[in-house]
Structure 1
Amino acid sequence: MMKRYSISAAIKTAFGVGALSLALIGCNGSDGKDGEDGKPGEIAIDINSATAVQTQVEQASYDETSKTLSFEFSLTNPNGVAVTGLETLTDPLRIAFGRMGTRTEAFTPFSLEDGTQVTARADGNEQIWLSYRNTTKNGVPMTGTNNWRPTRDCPENETCLEYLGQGKYKITAPNIIDTNGLDYDYDANQIQGIYVMTYGVGQNKLKNVEAYYWDPLTQQSVSSPKKVVEMETCTNCHVGQDHIRHGNYGNTADGCGFCHTDYTVYSGSGVDGEGNTVEFNFDGSTKGLIHGIHSGLTEGDRRELGKFSSVIANPAKNPAFAYEFDGAALDSEGNPKAELNFPTSTADCQSCHVSYTETEETLPEDLTTHALAWFADKDVVSCQSCHGDYHYGNRTEVIGEDTVLVGCVVCHSSSDGNTRGGAFRHFAGHEKDSREAASQAGTLVDASYSQINWDEATSTLTFTMNLMKGEDAVTSDYVPRVTLYVNAIDAVSPDAFLAGRTSGSASVNEDGSYTVTVDGSNGGYGLPSLAEAINNGADLAITSSFSTCFSNKTSTLSALDTESNCTGVLSPNAAKTEFVKLDGTQGSERASAVDYENCASCHNNDMVARKGAAHYRNADIHTCAQCHEAGDYNSMIVRVHGTFGKAHGREDVQSLVSSANCSACHSDSNFGLENARSTPMRWNRKDDTFSSPQAGVCASCHVSSSYDIGGGQDSAKSHIESMGGVVAGSYEEAMLNSESCLTCHSTDKVAELHKQD
């Protein structure tokens, strides 16, 4: 607001209103000037009062003469209000600085175990991100970025963090480049980048990260020059937290790459089978860490793969696998703190990377051509991040005067079209002249159902099932066993399975199809029988689960031996649930408040991630609900993903997805009680207790025995029941409820209480 000169209270008292008026009238207008507008007051909040901050770099440059990086940025709260006081804090910012370059620029000659001196890499021209600030750890060079801090690294008697007013700041960083002996320096012909981290600032310990890139030749900002994956690939699983592994460094792929460069090497230690501590170095790049962490190194059933114990886990070749070391999760005795079994498998490259393509025109928006490098096999050591140095992983060739590291890809290259290509052999059905991952081929098999017949008199359901892989029939010659479950669903309100899960038996027909017979007379889990639901006009939900035998390293069907054993690879199918009417036409699909794609973004290779669970691999959400339906399904989901629960002992899950974050599983506003189902939800299948629909949604967290949120289980239960809800009653009691939870707990209120954005 604009201000004019004011008259102080003292003057008003001395002259009085009348005298002051006369004095003003007596002034000659030509002798004085009107008061000028004062400067606008700054609209801002102090850093210690802010509850969230964000930065926006406006310009950046590097002066080669003074060897100084400088940039300006604004600091605001999410509403755009300026935030002041950053320059008064002890350690407010950390800055990473780097540029695009080549592998050759960061290469350091090294010796192999046999004494061979490696002087170059075959992929030396590949573009990578180079850090301008490298460091050494435990005697191992090139361990990424030593972030610059304006308070710690600013020269004496200089100001490196300056407040410019209106929420704008300026960083001046002299002598910021220190590559720690690597033979590269500033290059104005390359894209430059900075990563700005507000590091736990103010009384509320706020954090924020931002990557900013620019072209020195034009001084214009540019997009990320080496965007390899869409950020959603990471945040689809790492939901509801602001960092993936440590500190305040953020969870963006850009941020990881500033420190975990492609040439980063870490030192580590592990424990061998005899309890001895073993020291070794391992790949500390973003790629190496992600591949290693997400492969589930310490999970027992992962380590039963062919050649695993004898080759991949050979201590002399690959200590990271042999000694069950994941780089961060070791206890004081050097053992893993928890077993790892991530639902995303690095065995399928497309779990994280874009689908392979021959043309750049089909790249998703904002991705760079580096997103395609995963299937071009350009990196001579990328295979070793999982497979270690076996089978000539450190192979060299003499080229001119150099001994060149050519690695695995000298043979395993997809780019030259040979059948030993490295990347393509990690998934099935790619239609390339290369090996395929037989372990993934089962997802290519589909099930269809026809000739459905319901005999009301005997309560018997029969139908024909055909299994097909494209145009190839998948008969019992390739499938040792088939499991089938059948349920019923209301065609008008298909928001729940109506009956107890009912098993079906399959017999083989001469044409390779299967005849399935289901006895629908028996109920289960405290629910009506399948016969009762069908007789009332319900549609069918059919789930088939089976594994198919494929020849190793292909998606070619392989016949079982005479004892019905698979001598190749037994690969699970997708375990999808199909919805059909009795006349064989498409039935009503079960409606779910949960968006299945939110589940599949993490569980894209193992829907069942529980240790030792071998059932329903790759299942969809309807398949899970065949067993965990009508009540304990919700409870199971929040128990596994809950911040407060024990999650089957899986604390690693809790750090990824919090059930307090509704959007982690739900889309839009379908987490509200308006979307509660029309039938009761099972509370406990062991004693056949049920909750009313709205109560079940809330109670699955707030009254669950897996939780003790503020010690309020009993009070939450009492509150729910006082509003007409049933928490743990009979099916009939839960059906006859008159609950009114929705009266107060609207979608907006649920979002507010769960701190949804």
Structure 2
Amino acid sequence: MMKRFNFNAATKAMLGAGLLSLMLAGCGSDGSDGEPGKPGPVGTPISKVNTLKSKINSASVDTNGFLTINFSLSDANGAAVFGLKNTDIGAVSFGRVGSEDEIEGLTDVEGQAREIWLSYFNKDKGDGFYTGSSYFQGKNCEDCLTDNQDGTYTLKLNKAIDTLGKYDYKADMVNGIYLGIKTANAANVNLVNNSFFYWQPSSDTTQAKPKPIIADETCQSCHRPGHDGALAMHGGKHVTLESCTFCHTDYNSYMKDDKDENDQVIGSHKFDGSIKGMAHEVHSHAFYNGIFPQSASNCQTCHQPSETLTMADAWKADKDSATCLNCHNSPYAVPSWHWDAENNQILENKQNCVSCHNDPDGARGAERAHYSSNDSAQAAKTRVIFNSMTYDEASKTVTANMTVKHGDTNVTLAQIDSSPYSHGGFTSAIVFNGVVKDDFLVNYQKVGYDHFSEGADGSIDVTFSDSDFKVAEVMGTPEVKVALSSQLHVCFDGKGAVANCKPVADGVIPNSGPYVPSDTVYFNVDGSKVDKTPRVQHAEMTACQQCHTTAIKHRFSNDIDGCASCHNGTRDKKGNGSSNLAYIVHSKHYLYDSSGNGFFKKTDCQTCHGKDGFSLKKIAADAAPVAFGKTEDETEQTLVSPQTAACASCHQPPYGLSETTINHIVTNGGVIGTGHGVAASDYDAQKGQEACATCHTDSQLLEAHSNWSFDH
């Protein structure tokens, strides 16, 4: 009879281990280790990162013209990122530095061929036209990308070099690669990155970026990354100027259809698809359509002088007629004797612009035409200096003394535009006002040319009294700081030199230049100068000048105060609405491009207002109310309380000013009516202690505006 044994759990485990060991020993093991398992991935999966950066580490080209790229991906902290897929490779473009002599018909100055970029991926556009835009896309290859699971990748293109037989691959020249990645994380946030690599394949040595003409950051001062109007072309994967240059080479051209208002083709024209051709074309039309705030003729808006860009001055070279013709392509932009009216184009024998317009030997070239011999550019270099201000209380008369300088030379009275202004007064004037507790005191006062006279040492006196202007009201206000700025026009000779003004019929002066810049200067009543502005600065002019440079409406000030001295809280429109600076600026900054897409939205507060210029806490509780129009019978101004006015300058009906919202404002101490303002005579009775900033803190305002779209 077999005996039965009872084992507890621990005994069973020990016995099981022993039996297992015995069984393994009986397998005839030679004692060597088995194959090691494949290590797990190193880094963070791409689905979990919010920022992506790529770096091309090396590249090679095989004998059949196929490119292989070794690159790495990292997150914002530099840690490795794995998990990129073939379809995430949005673009790979490839090319080299070459000479324009390699392209038939491109060289304008014989023997002085320019250095240009040549793409290795050309596209045939028919009729003899071609472009460099046939780039590789990962969606067209299932096995081109190898993820090494440690943040490094190898990409072998299935697309060979094809220049359409125009030129050859050259391993001894500087070659370059553009890698564009576009993917998304688990939260469906787009991750876009453009990276570049330049090297000489024959020696396998890295090279500096060729043709450094304009920095990406220059474009991005207006085309801000992550905002409306950002450079995000062709599906949002090309987000830098440098990426554009790989495809939009100098030889890019093709025929483009002209369409009428019904989208019907009515003709065609040769289109310059080079990066310079498109940039000049887009910015010229965008300026005239009110989107781009600076004329494309102001070259240095984009071609900014730079010590770090070795070719920053290349636009002055006068070797490329195509650049001229990008803008000078209409009867309004060229001399009449250059234009072929019958064929609506520049005469064929005038199309090689640089054969004549070249400095220093020929007619004025790019730099002289746009700057040193250009009236508008030279007007921007003229300046107004307020030397002194005196006040005679007995006669209630102010005398301001100013010097107008062009370089080191004083501008005389005879050289200042004395013509009448179309809306009354004079074209040239100074602006007189006063500030108390951050607020200007009176509606704008332009003291015109008829009050100007010759002063000492080439200066100009401006004398005016209470009989014509609110002198006593300004000068008699306790703690007032007197504000002076200018609105002057200086006359030129048509070639950038200051000249005497030449009136014609009705006093019109055709050789008058644009507004001369001026800073706002403050004085105490006793004539002593005030070192800095007494006003809270809600924005800095430098923020405006990132896009506007020198072309801000009524260009007369290098500071915000110059604008606000006229567009202040005392000024209304003749009907509904305010002429206050906040109202005017906000109304101008919802911009759409030619396709109807948003370019700039005013809800992006910090673009203009910096860190905290938008803060309601900066508006004092005892600040003056803001004029917002007139009553229906036009007998009285209507007013809005100051913090409320800041909000109402943007929130116009039907957005944000419903009856419910108005009641909410009033409940919290604001003064506003259903038609915006309340009659001035009723304002004090309704005035409370505004409490807007209690809830509408800086962080809350930014959060409330962060996702505001053009569709709202």
Matched, 1:747 2:703: no
Contact 2:59 2:70 in 1 (8 A): no
Instruction: Return closer, same or farther for 1:163/1:487 CA change in 2, 3 Å cut-off.
Output: same
Match of 1:497 in 2: 440
Encode CA deviations 1:15-73: one digit per residue, 9 max, x unaligned.
846754786799999999999999556663464x76x4423124231223242212233
Matching residue within 161, 164, 182 for 2:145: 161
Instruction: Return closer, same or farther for 1:370/1:45 CA change in 2, 3 Å cut-off.
Output: same
Structure 2 residue identity aligned to 1:548: V
Provide the rounded CA distance (Å) in 2 between the counterparts of 1:62 and 1:142: 26
Contact 1:544 1:575 in 2 (8 A): yes
Contact 1:162 1:169 in 2 (8 A): yes
Matched, 1:143 2:131: yes
Matching residue within 47, 58, 82 for 1:60: 58
Instruction: Return closer, same or farther for 1:219/1:750 CA change in 2, 3 Å cut-off.
Output: farther
Matched, 1:483 2:429: yes
Contact 1:93 1:198 in 2 (8 A): yes
Provide the rounded CA distance (Å) in 1 between the counterparts of 2:260 and 2:451: 49
Structure 2 residue identity aligned to 1:474: T
Instruction: Return closer, same or farther for 1:54/1:455 CA change in 2, 3 Å cut-off.
Output: same
Provide the rounded CA distance (Å) in 2 between the counterparts of 1:129 and 1:693: 56
Matched, 1:551 2:493: yes
Contact 1:488 1:499 in 2 (8 A): yes
Matched, 1:284 2:235: no
Contact 1:123 1:378 in 2 (8 A): no
Matching residue within 436, 440, 453 for 1:509: 453
Match of 1:351 in 2: 301
Contact 2:43 2:81 in 1 (8 A): no
Q: How many residues align?
A: 638
Instruction: Return closer, same or farther for 1:562/1:103 CA change in 2, 3 Å cut-off.
Output: closer
Matching residue within 581, 587, 591 for 1:639: 587
SS of the residue corresponding to residue 132 of structure 2 reads: coil
SS of the residue corresponding to residue 254 of structure 1 reads: helix
Matched, 1:623 2:573: no
Provide the rounded CA distance (Å) in 1 between the counterparts of 2:74 and 2:14: 46
Match of 2:323 in 1: 382
Provide the rounded CA distance (Å) in 1 between the counterparts of 2:38 and 2:84: 26
Provide the rounded CA distance (Å) in 1 between the counterparts of 2:659 and 2:173: 66
Encode CA deviations 1:367-419: one digit per residue, 9 max, x unaligned.
2x22121112232432222224978999xxxxxxxxx99932233223xx347
Matching residue within 191, 211, 229 for 1:226: 211
Provide the rounded CA distance (Å) in 1 between the counterparts of 2:392 and 2:108: 75
Contact 1:266 1:281 in 2 (8 A): yes
The CA deviation at 1:245 is: 5.5
Structure 2 residue identity aligned to 1:178: D
The CA deviation at 1:185 is: 1.8
SS of the residue corresponding to residue 509 of structure 1 reads: strand
SS of the residue corresponding to residue 522 of structure 2 reads: strand
Match of 2:241 in 1: 253
Encode CA deviations 1:652-709: one digit per residue, 9 max, x unaligned.
89833222322321223433334335624626244544444444434433x323x63x
The CA deviation at 1:205 is: 6.7
The CA deviation at 1:503 is: 3.3
SS of the residue corresponding to residue 125 of structure 1 reads: coil
Structure 1 residue identity aligned to 2:520: T
SS of the residue corresponding to residue 484 of structure 1 reads: strand
Structure 1 residues 513-522 or 474-483, which shifts more? 513-522
Match of 2:537 in 1: 592
Match of 2:410 in 1: 472
Match of 1:115 in 2: none
Contact 1:641 1:654 in 2 (8 A): no
Provide the rounded CA distance (Å) in 1 between the counterparts of 2:172 and 2:542: 44
Alignment of 1:454-465 (within 5 A): 454-456=391-393, 459-465=396-402
Q: What stretches of structure 1 of length at least 5 have no aligned partner? A: 1-13, 110-117, 300-338, 356-362, 395-403, 431-435, 524-528, 609-614
SS of the residue corresponding to residue 312 of structure 2 reads: helix
Q: Which has the larger radius of gyration?
A: 2
Instruction: Return closer, same or farther for 1:735/1:286 CA change in 2, 3 Å cut-off.
Output: farther
Provide the rounded CA distance (Å) in 2 between the counterparts of 1:341 and 1:660: 17
Contact 2:70 2:154 in 1 (8 A): yes
SS of the residue corresponding to residue 211 of structure 1 reads: strand
Provide the rounded CA distance (Å) in 2 between the counterparts of 1:202 and 1:127: 44
Encode CA deviations 1:592-623: one digit per residue, 9 max, x unaligned.
22121121122224212xxxxxx446774323
Provide the rounded CA distance (Å) in 2 between the counterparts of 1:714 and 1:138: 61
Structure 2 residue identity aligned to 1:467: V
Structure 1 residue identity aligned to 2:587: R
Instruction: Return closer, same or farther for 1:192/1:723 CA change in 2, 3 Å cut-off.
Output: same
Q: What stretches of structure 2 of length at least 5 have no aligned partner? A: 1-6, 26-30, 340-348, 419-426, 570-577, 632-636, 708-712
Match of 2:284 in 1: 295
Contact 1:680 1:734 in 2 (8 A): no
SS of the residue corresponding to residue 637 of structure 1 reads: helix
Contact 2:211 2:311 in 1 (8 A): yes
Matched, 1:342 2:300: no
Contact 1:726 1:733 in 2 (8 A): no
Match of 1:401 in 2: none
Matching residue within 141, 151, 167 for 1:183: 167
Provide the rounded CA distance (Å) in 1 between the counterparts of 2:510 and 2:223: 38
Matching residue within 119, 123, 132 for 2:120: 132
Instruction: Return closer, same or farther for 1:518/1:102 CA change in 2, 3 Å cut-off.
Output: farther
Encode CA deviations 1:553-606: one digit per residue, 9 max, x unaligned.
122323324764435353331254332333444323244221211211222242
Provide the rounded CA distance (Å) in 1 between the counterparts of 2:684 and 2:524: 30
Provide the rounded CA distance (Å) in 2 between the counterparts of 1:191 and 1:681: 63
The CA deviation at 1:254 is: 0.2
Encode CA deviations 1:511-530: one digit per residue, 9 max, x unaligned.
5724331539987xxxxx97
Structure 2 residue identity aligned to 1:187: A
Instruction: Return closer, same or farther for 1:579/1:138 CA change in 2, 3 Å cut-off.
Output: farther
Contact 1:461 1:517 in 2 (8 A): yes
Contact 1:228 1:371 in 2 (8 A): yes
Matched, 1:423 2:366: yes
Matched, 1:413 2:402: no
Structure 2 residue identity aligned to 1:742: A
The CA deviation at 1:534 is: 4.5
Contact 1:488 1:530 in 2 (8 A): no
SS of the residue corresponding to residue 382 of structure 1 reads: helix
Identity %: 25
Contact 2:491 2:500 in 1 (8 A): yes
Matching residue within 429, 446, 450 for 2:383: 446
Contact 1:249 1:255 in 2 (8 A): no
TM-score (normalised: structure 1)? 0.73
SS of the residue corresponding to residue 166 of structure 2 reads: coil
Encode CA deviations 1:472-508: one digit per residue, 9 max, x unaligned.
2331454224223212124xx5x44243323324424
Matched, 1:665 2:614: no
Instruction: Return closer, same or farther for 1:164/1:406 CA change in 2, 3 Å cut-off.
Output: same
Provide the rounded CA distance (Å) in 1 between the counterparts of 2:559 and 2:258: 38
Match of 2:91 in 1: 94
Provide the rounded CA distance (Å) in 2 between the counterparts of 1:561 and 1:547: 13
Q: CA-atom RMSD, angstroms?
A: 4.3
Match of 1:573 in 2: 516
Contact 2:385 2:518 in 1 (8 A): no
Contact 2:430 2:447 in 1 (8 A): yes
Match of 1:682 in 2: 626
The CA deviation at 1:437 is: 0.2
Alignment of 1:25-44 (within 5 A): 39=39, 44=44
